[in-house]
Homo-oligomer: A and B are copies of this chain.
Amino acid sequence: MFNELRALHTRCGHAGRSRWACGAGSGGRAWQVVPDFARYLVEFPFGDIYARKALGLRERELATVAALCALGNALPQLRVHVHAALHVGCKPAEVVEVVMQMAVYAGFPAALNGLSVVREVFAESGIQLPLPQD
């Protein structure tokens, strides 16, 4: 496991915050319940899926933001992945566009609740709103 984790760290481009950058952070206190679950989360999503080279981390994070926003019952995880998306190089406007696009596929409430999460993460990250329009 440690080899895989180290490889993932390298791929994410930084050691110290890689757990956040790749989105594992949301389980925080879940580890207290069942420490093995932390290992599964590292091994399957991060060791197996995110480490695959056929898709970039930028695209992976945008896809995850889309899915979590559309599902609508995973807002704590959406928050983690908005941070993660910014961390791996997505522009703030790209994150906003993906969330807004979910109004088409999952309805306006999903998009509105997603935009609330985005607004909070942007505030925490010092990103000023509204974003400059192109």
Contacts and interface: CB of A to CB of B under 8 A. Distances in A.
Given A68-B105, A73-B72, A101-B63, A130 B44 contact: no
Interface of A: 26-27, 29-30, 32-37, 40-41, 43-45, 48-50, 52-55, 59-60, 62-74, 76-77, 91, 93-94, 96-98, 100-113, 115-116, 118-119, 122, 129-131, 133-134
Contacts of A34: 96, 100, 115, 130-131
Contacts of A93: 54-55
What is the oligomeric copy number?
6
A62 B59 contact: yes
A118 B105 CA distance: 18
A103 B42 CA distance: 13
